[in-house]
Amino acid sequence: MIIFVALNQLKILDLSGNEIGNTGAALLGPCLHNIEEQLILDECGIGSKGVEKLCDGVKKLTKPLKIFDLSCNKIGNRGAASLAPCLHNMEELILRGCEFGSVGVKKLCDGVKKLTKPLKRLDLSYNKIGNTGAVSLAPCLQNMEQLILWGCGIGSEGVEKLCDGVKKLTKPLKILDLSHNKIGNTGATSLAPCLHNMEELILYGCGIESEGVEKLCDGVKKLGKPHDVQQRIVKGTCSAYFLLVCCYNTTSPDTRMRNLIEEARPGRLNTEFKQRN
């Protein structure tokens, strides 16, 4: 015997890779109240007008979407601005490669600042927000738990401004991911004094050399005794997650870099380095 159970709401709707365009987005807007958790619209040919229609639906929700993903749609600054007033009705907003810049980020940040409950995740990867966008993000870090900024054209000046915001946090960021931004040693130096206010710092491909690692390790040492830091790393609750990541900023970690990292994280790197080299 087959029993059919009627569902009141669809948990996940993923239409990624379908050219639904603005017309499809407009059709989706009025029925968002029947999507309980996730709306994934990665690479659907949606522009700013389509985002505006989707946001009309999001604003009317009585329960926030857990994930709203508009990655790889050319929504631009105008689309980013449309999202700002409805951020309260989503827990995670993913906007990878949506072709907006610092102007769009500023509009989004205006919305983030007004939130009474933090965004669990904001992913702005592969949008050219630059240092100016980083400046806009700094004052609203208290209203997000994870900030993902892969390949956003942020340099050392932008990192310095972000760090100003991190230092002022009353609750640590769970994740700050600045991978594939050329922050270099200067950016790494700026990050060192605010490691206490993040649980994970991810810096793949950031052009950091041993000089920058030395500064980061100085910051790690101040988090607690080496043994305490090591235990926190194992549990995944320490900002010192960056330690191995730093090694991957160079194709051949020199002895000085390895010694610096080993000093901050004793007895944990031998296996990793042997596997890698």
Tell me 240's DSSP state.
Answer: B
H runs (alpha helix) in the chain = 21-28, 48-59, 76-83, 102-113, 130-137, 156-167, 184-191, 210-221, 226-234, 242-247, 255-264, 270-276
CATH architecture entry for 66-276: Alpha-Beta Horseshoe (3.80)
- 64/117 Cα distance (integer angstroms): 11
Is the predicted pLDDT of residue 272 greater than 80, yes or no? Answer: no
Task: Kindly state the tokens that stand for 133.
Answer: 């966008």
**Residues sharing a CB contact under 8 Å with residue 128, sequence separation 6 or more, in sequence order:** 101, 152, 153
Instruction: Return the minimum-mean-pLDDT range out of 187-191, 199-203, 214-218, 248-252.
Output: 248-252
Angle at 275 (CA atoms; ends 270, 277), nearest 5 degrees? 90
Query: For residues 14-52, b (16+ Cβ closer than 10 Å) or e, as one string?
Result: ebeeeebebebbbebbeebeebbebbbbbebbbbbbbbb
Tell me 73's DSSP state.
Answer: -
What would the pLDDT profile of 31-77 be if each residue is shown by its tens digit?
Answer: 999 998 999 999 999 999 999 999 999 999 999 999 999 999 999 99
pLDDT for 258: 53
Tell me 219's DSSP state.
Answer: H
| Other beta carbons less than 10 A from residue 225's beta carbon | 9
pLDDT band for position 220 (cuts 50, 70, 90): confident
* Higher pLDDT among residues 274 and 122, named by residue: 122
pLDDT band for position 260 (cuts 50, 70, 90): low
Is the predicted pLDDT of residue 268 greater than 90, yes or no? Answer: no
Average pLDDT of the residues in 79-85: 97
Average pLDDT of the residues in 243-268: 47
Global pTM value? 0.82
- 214/233 Cα distance (integer angstroms): 18
Answer for the pair 68, 43: CB distance below 8 angstroms, yes or no: no
Tally the C-alpha atoms within 13 A of residue 142's C-alpha that lie toward its C-beta. 11
pLDDT band for position 104 (cuts 50, 70, 90): very high
Average pLDDT of the residues in 153-165: 97
* Higher pLDDT among residues 160 and 254, named by residue: 160
- 111/82 Cα distance (integer angstroms): 10
pLDDT for 37: 93
- The residue extents of the domains of the chain are 66-276
Answer for the pair 265, 233: CB distance below 8 angstroms, yes or no: yes
Give the whole-number percent of the chain exceeding pLDDT 90. 71
* Higher pLDDT among residues 269 and 226, named by residue: 226
- 241/230 Cα distance (integer angstroms): 10
- 263/270 Cα distance (integer angstroms): 12
Is the predicted pLDDT of residue 174 greater than 50, yes or no? Answer: yes
